Structure 1
Amino acid sequence: MLAFAPLHTAVGFAGTALAQLSTLLEPIAGGAATAAAIVLFTVAVRLLISPLTVAQIRGERRRAALAPQVREVQQRYADDPARLQGELFALYRSAGANPVAGCLPMLLQAPFLLVMYRLFSTAEGGTGLLDERLAGVPLGHHLGDGVAGAAGPLFALLLAALVLLAWLSSRRMRRAAAAPGPQSAAGPAALLGRLLPLLPYTTVLVALVLPMAAVLYLVTTTAWTALEQGVLRRPQASPAEAGTDRR
């Protein structure tokens, strides 16, 4: 239990902050104050970690720009693995594109996401969050508890939003996989390219077993991800095109 003490403390702190935010929103949102607080708190957390996502995407673009040089180095030193690794390391270092750095933002986001999950799926926060209601439905209500009253329409709306967001994310992945490249994917890479677009739909499956508070969080963070990816990964004009536009 001691190993989880820091996590418990973080969840308690987040729960207290959420309860205070709910109190502030109550004059405006009324009975939906806690649900509104979940949405705003999730957005605040995503804003806090957004610089990590920006750094990750910048790193991906740097590595993509180096792809022709990487292939050239791989072909030149294909028979000398030790020399190949050294040359690749030197190439990435000179361009400021550490191939390992792309994993760092995702690793740093994991503690935030774990805290949010525990806060919205358990009573660990100690603030009675799951006892609060939205349209008369407790935020701790699971889909398996029944769909009587407003529970059915609320869960249907949230699940429909997740399906739509999953479809948008999957479509973006399929387009990226179908983009022409110097080499066509084959073998395991081709299989991975077919499986990745299915991953966004796992959020819908996860939502089926989570309480409504956690589903609200899941919808909000997924919508934020879709918006973030749409903005940060939009096509960029090449220097030549930019010069033509200025003229």
Structure 2
Amino acid sequence: MSVFADLVARLADLLQPLFDASATAVAIVLFTALVRLLVHPLSRAAARGQRARVALQPKIAELRKKHAKNPEKLQKAVLELHAAEKVSPLSGCLPSLCQLPAFFLLYHLFSNTTIGGEANALLSHKLFAAPLGDRWFDALGEGGVFGAQGLVYVALFVIVAGVAAFNFRRTKLMMAAGSAGVPAVGDEQVPGLAASMGAVGKVMPFMSFFTLVTVAVVPLAAALYVVTSTTWSAVERAFLYPVTPAPAAK
């Protein structure tokens, strides 16, 4: 972790003449953007994989009819179809999995009081009045919701709520249109999946709002990573998964 801490510290030093005390916070935002830029090819591949999986639905529907009385053969046939078409059912998970190490590194870096046996100097850095190692509850104890520290979190909550509302609207539109970005609940690929997809479909539009809880409970440095990454994801998905309008009713 000391190597990672040195990387953040060096980037902050480069930015210090421009951003003064908030240089480390800006360094975290830029670091997050760099991580997302590196992961972007995987996101594009996941989008292509999603479109390929949707394109397989007619063939999967035929397999369901053919093996309606034999779930084991159906599952094997579906997996063989994916393999033959070189489509991975798990490709959409890779971008998120690749980002987890960076998030946990930031979380631990700003949760530890020492690094390599020495005091963690990064904990003294701030975003305006809010220390990067503190949490929202710490800010509430230092002036309340609208205190100097609390206002930093208010700004982050407003950004997250705006992004969540944007994602909520897009998800509802995509689910209504059966767009490639959100598979239709009835498009069962593996036996037994329809029921779970139905439950997920009801919760999915609200998932982005759970980010508000994450921002409130993790150190501010990790919250900056979450806010930046969530905003990047919203913009990225808007380009990679365009909403296809539902056909007009006749």
Alignment TM-score, normalising by the size of structure 1 = 0.80
Choose from 218, 228, 242 the match for 1:210: 218
Q: Is contact 2:133-2:219 (8 Å) kept?
A: yes
Aligned residues: 226
| Structure with the higher helix share, 1 or 2 | 1
Following the alignment from structure 1 to structure 2, what is the Cα–Cα distance between the partners of residues 137 and 71?
55
Following the alignment from structure 2 to structure 1, what is the Cα–Cα distance between the partners of residues 230 and 185?
32
Following the alignment from structure 2 to structure 1, what is the Cα–Cα distance between the partners of residues 78 and 34?
39
> 1:141 and 2:139 equivalent?
no
Per mean C-alpha deviation after superposition, the further-off stretch among 183-192 and 89-98 is 183-192
Q: Is contact 1:133-1:139 (8 Å) kept?
A: yes
Q: CA 1:219–1:135 in 2, change beyond 3 Å: closer, same or farther? A: same
Q: CA 1:106–1:219 in 2, change beyond 3 Å: closer, same or farther? A: closer
Q: 1:124 offset after TM fit, Å?
A: 6.1
Q: Is contact 2:136-2:153 (8 Å) kept?
A: yes
Which residue does the alignment assign to 2:206? Answer: 198
Choose from 166, 169, 178 the match for 1:168: 166
Which residue does the alignment assign to 2:89? Answer: 99
Structure 2 unaligned residues grouped into runs of 5+:
179-183, 189-193, 245-250
Which residue does the alignment assign to 1:17? Answer: 7
Q: Secondary structure at the match of 2:97?
A: helix
Following the alignment from structure 1 to structure 2, what is the Cα–Cα distance between the partners of residues 124 and 169?
38
CA RMSD across the alignment: 2.6
Alignment TM-score, normalising by the size of structure 2 = 0.79
Structure 1 unaligned residues grouped into runs of 5+:
1-10, 237-247
Report the identity percentage: 36
Q: Is contact 1:42-1:220 (8 Å) kept?
A: yes
Q: Deviations over 1:44-73 (max 9, x none)?
A: 111122222222221111101111111111
Which residue does the alignment assign to 2:122? Answer: 129
Following the alignment from structure 2 to structure 1, what is the Cα–Cα distance between the partners of residues 239 and 59?
28
Q: CA 1:96–1:235 in 2, change beyond 3 Å: closer, same or farther? A: farther
Q: 1:234 offset after TM fit, Å?
A: 1.8
